[in-house]
Amino acid sequence: MSESTIEWTEKTWNPTTGCTVISKECDNCYAKILTDSLQMKGSGKYLQGFDVFAEHPNALKEPFKWKKPTLVFVNSMSDLFHKDMKLEFLQQIFQVMNETPRHTYQVLTKRDAILLELSPELTWTENIWMGVSVGSCVSIRKIDRLRKCGAKNKFLSVEPLIEELPDLNLEGIDWVIVGGENGRGSGIRPIKKDWILKIKKNCEDQNVPFFFKQWGLSRFNPDPSDPTQYKGHPDYAKGGCQINGKMYRENPCVVDPHFGELPFEWD
Protein backbone atom coordinates (compact mmCIF):
# COMPACT_ATOMS: atom_id res chain seq x y z
CA MET A 1 0.00 0.00 0.00
CA SER A 2 1.21 3.52 -0.65
CA GLU A 3 -0.06 7.09 -0.60
CA SER A 4 -1.13 7.97 -4.11
CA THR A 5 -0.50 10.98 -6.35
CA ILE A 6 -3.52 9.94 -8.44
CA GLU A 7 -5.94 12.84 -8.08
CA TRP A 8 -9.13 10.81 -7.55
CA THR A 9 -7.91 8.49 -4.81
CA GLU A 10 -5.89 8.52 -1.58
CA LYS A 11 -4.01 5.23 -1.50
CA THR A 12 -3.17 2.38 -3.81
CA TRP A 13 -3.41 -1.26 -2.76
CA ASN A 14 -1.89 -3.97 -4.93
CA PRO A 15 -2.73 -7.55 -3.89
CA THR A 16 -1.51 -8.64 -7.33
CA THR A 17 1.20 -7.30 -9.61
CA GLY A 18 1.94 -7.77 -13.31
CA CYS A 19 -0.32 -7.62 -16.32
CA THR A 20 -0.45 -8.00 -20.11
CA VAL A 21 -1.38 -5.51 -22.77
CA ILE A 22 -4.99 -5.92 -23.88
CA SER A 23 -5.99 -2.75 -25.76
CA LYS A 24 -4.46 0.20 -27.55
CA GLU A 25 -5.00 2.34 -24.45
CA CYS A 26 -2.33 0.11 -22.80
CA ASP A 27 0.42 1.22 -25.21
CA ASN A 28 2.24 3.45 -22.73
CA CYS A 29 1.12 1.63 -19.57
CA TYR A 30 2.52 3.49 -16.54
CA ALA A 31 2.31 0.29 -14.44
CA LYS A 32 4.74 -1.43 -16.79
CA ILE A 33 7.15 1.51 -16.77
CA LEU A 34 7.01 1.74 -12.97
CA THR A 35 7.35 -2.03 -12.52
CA ASP A 36 10.45 -2.09 -14.76
CA SER A 37 12.00 0.62 -12.63
CA LEU A 38 11.06 -1.05 -9.32
CA GLN A 39 12.39 -4.37 -10.60
CA MET A 40 15.74 -2.75 -11.39
CA LYS A 41 15.83 -1.29 -7.89
CA GLY A 42 15.23 -4.78 -6.45
CA SER A 43 11.86 -3.94 -4.92
CA GLY A 44 10.51 -7.25 -3.54
CA LYS A 45 6.98 -7.33 -4.89
CA TYR A 46 8.11 -6.39 -8.39
CA LEU A 47 11.14 -8.65 -8.82
CA GLN A 48 9.31 -10.98 -11.19
CA GLY A 49 8.71 -8.14 -13.62
CA PHE A 50 5.59 -6.88 -15.30
CA ASP A 51 4.96 -9.90 -17.54
CA VAL A 52 4.33 -12.22 -14.60
CA PHE A 53 0.92 -11.93 -12.94
CA ALA A 54 1.67 -12.57 -9.27
CA GLU A 55 -0.54 -12.87 -6.20
CA HIS A 56 0.58 -11.31 -2.91
CA PRO A 57 -1.40 -12.90 -0.06
CA ASN A 58 0.45 -10.77 2.52
CA ALA A 59 -1.15 -7.67 1.03
CA LEU A 60 -4.56 -8.95 2.13
CA LYS A 61 -3.78 -7.89 5.70
CA GLU A 62 -3.08 -4.25 4.84
CA PRO A 63 -6.58 -2.67 4.75
CA PHE A 64 -7.33 -4.04 8.22
CA LYS A 65 -4.37 -2.05 9.56
CA TRP A 66 -5.39 1.38 8.25
CA LYS A 67 -7.22 3.10 11.07
CA LYS A 68 -8.39 6.09 9.00
CA PRO A 69 -11.30 5.55 6.58
CA THR A 70 -9.59 5.76 3.20
CA LEU A 71 -10.29 5.95 -0.52
CA VAL A 72 -8.34 3.08 -2.03
CA PHE A 73 -7.48 2.42 -5.68
CA VAL A 74 -7.23 -1.37 -5.94
CA ASN A 75 -4.51 -2.73 -8.22
CA SER A 76 -2.97 0.35 -9.74
CA MET A 77 -0.12 -1.92 -10.90
CA SER A 78 -2.18 -4.77 -12.35
CA ASP A 79 -5.75 -5.76 -13.26
CA LEU A 80 -7.97 -7.69 -10.81
CA PHE A 81 -9.79 -9.35 -13.71
CA HIS A 82 -6.67 -10.57 -15.51
CA LYS A 83 -7.08 -14.00 -17.12
CA ASP A 84 -4.52 -15.49 -14.73
CA MET A 85 -6.32 -14.35 -11.58
CA LYS A 86 -7.54 -17.33 -9.56
CA LEU A 87 -11.18 -17.01 -8.52
CA GLU A 88 -10.33 -18.06 -4.97
CA PHE A 89 -7.80 -15.24 -4.56
CA LEU A 90 -10.16 -12.74 -6.15
CA GLN A 91 -12.84 -13.79 -3.66
CA GLN A 92 -10.36 -13.30 -0.82
CA ILE A 93 -9.64 -9.76 -2.05
CA PHE A 94 -13.38 -9.04 -2.17
CA GLN A 95 -13.79 -10.50 1.30
CA VAL A 96 -11.20 -8.03 2.61
CA MET A 97 -13.17 -5.18 0.99
CA ASN A 98 -16.44 -6.56 2.38
CA GLU A 99 -14.97 -6.77 5.89
CA THR A 100 -13.50 -3.25 5.93
CA PRO A 101 -16.56 -1.06 5.19
CA ARG A 102 -14.81 2.01 6.59
CA HIS A 103 -12.74 2.14 3.39
CA THR A 104 -14.08 2.92 -0.07
CA TYR A 105 -12.49 0.85 -2.83
CA GLN A 106 -12.09 1.83 -6.48
CA VAL A 107 -11.52 -1.16 -8.76
CA LEU A 108 -10.70 -0.46 -12.40
CA THR A 109 -10.42 -3.02 -15.18
CA LYS A 110 -9.94 -3.26 -18.92
CA ARG A 111 -11.28 -6.84 -18.85
CA ASP A 112 -15.01 -6.31 -18.93
CA ALA A 113 -15.83 -9.82 -20.19
CA ILE A 114 -14.11 -11.50 -17.23
CA LEU A 115 -15.69 -8.94 -14.89
CA LEU A 116 -19.15 -9.91 -16.08
CA GLU A 117 -18.40 -13.63 -16.00
CA LEU A 118 -17.08 -13.58 -12.43
CA SER A 119 -19.44 -10.94 -11.04
CA PRO A 120 -21.98 -13.47 -9.64
CA GLU A 121 -19.18 -15.18 -7.69
CA LEU A 122 -18.35 -11.98 -5.81
CA THR A 123 -19.99 -10.08 -2.96
CA TRP A 124 -20.54 -6.47 -3.97
CA THR A 125 -20.80 -4.37 -0.83
CA GLU A 126 -21.66 -0.64 -1.03
CA ASN A 127 -18.05 0.39 -0.43
CA ILE A 128 -16.86 -1.06 -3.76
CA TRP A 129 -16.84 1.16 -6.86
CA MET A 130 -16.29 -0.74 -10.08
CA GLY A 131 -14.99 0.97 -13.21
CA VAL A 132 -13.94 0.17 -16.77
CA SER A 133 -11.41 2.01 -18.94
CA VAL A 134 -12.88 3.59 -22.04
CA GLY A 135 -10.32 5.67 -23.93
CA SER A 136 -11.23 4.76 -27.50
CA CYS A 137 -14.33 3.99 -29.56
CA VAL A 138 -13.73 0.25 -29.57
CA SER A 139 -13.79 0.23 -25.75
CA ILE A 140 -17.28 1.70 -25.50
CA ARG A 141 -18.82 -1.76 -25.50
CA LYS A 142 -17.28 -2.25 -22.05
CA ILE A 143 -19.84 0.12 -20.59
CA ASP A 144 -22.70 -2.33 -21.26
CA ARG A 145 -20.91 -5.12 -19.44
CA LEU A 146 -20.11 -2.82 -16.53
CA ARG A 147 -23.81 -1.93 -16.33
CA LYS A 148 -24.70 -5.62 -16.05
CA CYS A 149 -22.21 -6.51 -13.29
CA GLY A 150 -23.27 -6.69 -9.66
CA ALA A 151 -21.45 -3.57 -8.42
CA LYS A 152 -23.67 -1.02 -6.71
CA ASN A 153 -21.49 1.92 -7.79
CA LYS A 154 -20.07 2.17 -11.30
CA PHE A 155 -17.63 4.52 -12.99
CA LEU A 156 -15.77 5.12 -16.24
CA SER A 157 -12.11 6.02 -16.52
CA VAL A 158 -11.85 7.78 -19.87
CA GLU A 159 -8.07 7.89 -19.70
CA PRO A 160 -6.04 8.02 -21.76
CA LEU A 161 -8.61 9.56 -24.10
CA ILE A 162 -6.92 8.96 -27.44
CA GLU A 163 -9.71 9.72 -29.90
CA GLU A 164 -13.10 11.39 -30.08
CA LEU A 165 -15.87 9.24 -28.62
CA PRO A 166 -19.47 9.32 -29.80
CA ASP A 167 -22.10 10.58 -27.36
CA LEU A 168 -22.07 8.25 -24.35
CA ASN A 169 -25.12 6.57 -22.85
CA LEU A 170 -24.42 6.93 -19.12
CA GLU A 171 -27.47 5.13 -17.81
CA GLY A 172 -26.45 3.26 -14.63
CA ILE A 173 -23.08 5.03 -14.47
CA ASP A 174 -22.33 7.06 -11.33
CA TRP A 175 -19.11 8.88 -12.19
CA VAL A 176 -16.87 9.71 -15.17
CA ILE A 177 -13.16 10.56 -15.02
CA VAL A 178 -11.43 11.97 -18.12
CA GLY A 179 -7.70 12.44 -18.69
CA GLY A 180 -5.01 12.76 -21.32
CA GLU A 181 -2.05 10.47 -21.79
CA ASN A 182 1.15 11.18 -19.87
CA GLY A 183 4.40 9.53 -18.95
CA ARG A 184 7.17 7.98 -20.96
CA GLY A 185 6.18 7.22 -24.55
CA SER A 186 3.21 9.59 -24.52
CA GLY A 187 3.24 12.64 -26.73
CA ILE A 188 1.82 11.31 -29.95
CA ARG A 189 -1.78 10.83 -28.80
CA PRO A 190 -2.86 14.26 -27.59
CA ILE A 191 -6.23 14.73 -25.94
CA LYS A 192 -8.40 17.43 -27.57
CA LYS A 193 -10.52 20.03 -25.82
CA ASP A 194 -13.57 19.33 -28.01
CA TRP A 195 -13.51 15.66 -27.04
CA ILE A 196 -13.42 16.55 -23.34
CA LEU A 197 -16.22 19.09 -23.61
CA LYS A 198 -18.40 16.55 -25.42
CA ILE A 199 -18.06 14.06 -22.56
CA LYS A 200 -18.58 16.83 -20.00
CA LYS A 201 -21.84 17.72 -21.74
CA ASN A 202 -22.89 14.04 -21.81
CA CYS A 203 -22.34 14.02 -18.03
CA GLU A 204 -24.25 17.27 -17.47
CA ASP A 205 -27.16 16.16 -19.63
CA GLN A 206 -27.40 12.83 -17.79
CA ASN A 207 -26.65 14.19 -14.33
CA VAL A 208 -23.43 12.23 -13.83
CA PRO A 209 -20.50 13.70 -11.83
CA PHE A 210 -17.56 14.66 -14.06
CA PHE A 211 -13.89 14.72 -13.05
CA PHE A 212 -11.24 16.14 -15.38
CA LYS A 213 -7.93 14.74 -14.20
CA GLN A 214 -5.26 16.19 -16.48
CA TRP A 215 -4.23 17.23 -19.99
CA GLY A 216 -1.26 14.83 -19.77
CA LEU A 217 1.42 17.11 -21.21
CA SER A 218 1.57 20.90 -21.14
CA ARG A 219 1.73 21.04 -24.89
CA PHE A 220 -1.66 19.28 -25.09
CA ASN A 221 -3.16 22.01 -22.89
CA PRO A 222 -4.63 24.79 -25.07
CA ASP A 223 -4.20 27.30 -22.22
CA PRO A 224 -0.50 28.08 -21.70
CA SER A 225 -1.36 30.15 -18.62
CA ASP A 226 -3.05 27.27 -16.75
CA PRO A 227 -1.31 27.51 -13.34
CA THR A 228 -2.09 23.90 -12.42
CA GLN A 229 0.51 22.61 -14.88
CA TYR A 230 3.29 23.78 -12.56
CA LYS A 231 4.63 21.65 -9.73
CA GLY A 232 4.10 23.54 -6.51
CA HIS A 233 0.54 24.52 -7.38
CA PRO A 234 -1.81 22.89 -4.82
CA ASP A 235 -3.85 21.35 -7.66
CA TYR A 236 -0.88 20.43 -9.82
CA ALA A 237 -1.69 17.81 -12.45
CA LYS A 238 0.35 16.60 -15.40
CA GLY A 239 -0.14 19.17 -18.16
CA GLY A 240 -2.59 21.05 -15.92
CA CYS A 241 -6.23 20.35 -15.16
CA GLN A 242 -8.16 23.50 -16.02
CA ILE A 243 -10.63 23.82 -18.87
CA ASN A 244 -11.33 27.42 -19.80
CA GLY A 245 -9.82 28.53 -16.49
CA LYS A 246 -11.84 26.16 -14.28
CA MET A 247 -11.29 22.80 -12.65
CA TYR A 248 -13.94 20.09 -12.77
CA ARG A 249 -13.33 17.61 -9.99
CA GLU A 250 -16.61 16.13 -8.86
CA ASN A 251 -15.95 12.99 -6.87
CA PRO A 252 -18.95 11.13 -5.44
CA CYS A 253 -16.67 8.35 -4.32
CA VAL A 254 -16.29 9.58 -0.78
CA VAL A 255 -15.57 7.75 2.40
CA ASP A 256 -18.67 7.44 4.57
CA PRO A 257 -18.32 9.99 7.42
CA HIS A 258 -20.31 7.54 9.57
CA PHE A 259 -17.08 5.60 10.03
CA GLY A 260 -14.70 7.19 12.47
CA GLU A 261 -11.05 6.37 12.81
CA LEU A 262 -10.05 3.25 14.66
CA PRO A 263 -8.20 4.13 17.88
CA PHE A 264 -4.93 2.63 16.68
CA GLU A 265 -3.10 1.45 13.59
CA TRP A 266 -1.99 -2.19 13.53
CA ASP A 267 1.55 -3.25 12.73
Q: Which residue's CB is nearer to ligand SF4, number 32 or number 145?
A: 32
Three-class SS state of 2: strand
Q: How far is the CB of 110 from ligand SF4 (least distance, A)?
A: 4
Q: How far apart are CA 28 and CA 185, in angstroms?
A: 6
Out of 1, 22, 52, 247, point to the residue binding ligand SF4 (CB under 6 A). 22
Residues 61-100 that bind ligand SF4 (CB under 6 A): 78-79
Q: Tell me the closest approach of the beta carbon of residue 30 to ligand SF4, in angstroms.
A: 7
> Whole-angstrom Cα distance, residue 1 to residue 91?
19
To ligand SF4, the closest distance from the beta carbon of 197 in angstroms equals: 25
The residue range among 16-24, 92-100, 215-223, 231-239 that interacts with ligand SF4, by the rule CB under 6 A, is 16-24
Alpha carbons 36 and 16: distance in angstroms, whole number: 16
Closest distance to ligand SF4 from the beta carbon of 226 (Å):
26
* Helix locations, 30-166, DSSP H: 30-40, 62-65, 87-99, 112-118, 141-148
The answer to the question of residue 10 lying near ligand SF4 (CB under 6 A) is no
Q: Which of 9, 10, 13, 29 binds ligand SF4 (CB under 6 A)?
A: 29
d(CA 242, CA 222): 10
Looking at the chain, how many residues does it have?
267
Q: Residue 232, Cα to own-chain centre: how many angstroms?
A: 24
* Contact window for ligand SF4 (CB under 6 A) among 26-34, 61-69, 162-170, 228-236: 26-34
**Is residue 26 within the footprint of ligand SF4 (CB under 6 A)?**
yes
DSSP lists the bridge partners of residue 12 as 2, 73
| Span of 19-27, 117-125, 186-194, 234-242 interacting with ligand SF4 by CB under 6 A | 19-27
The whole-angstrom separation of Cα 16 and Cα 33 is 16
19/38 with CB nearer ligand SF4: 19
The burial class, CB within 10 Å (0-12 / 13-18 / 19+), for 45 is middle
Cβ 100 vs Cβ 68: under 8 Å: no
Say whether residue 226 binds ligand SF4 (CB under 6 A).
no
Told to check if 110 binds ligand SF4 by CB under 6 A, we report yes
What letter would DSSP give residue 253?
Answer: -
Under the binding rule (CB under 6 A), the answer on residue 19 touching ligand SF4 is: yes
Q: What angle do CA 107, 50, 95 make, to 5 degrees?
A: 30
Least gap, CB of 247 to ligand SF4 (angstroms): 25
Contacts with ligand SF4 by CB under 6 A lie at 19, 21-22, 26, 29, 31-32, 78-79, 110
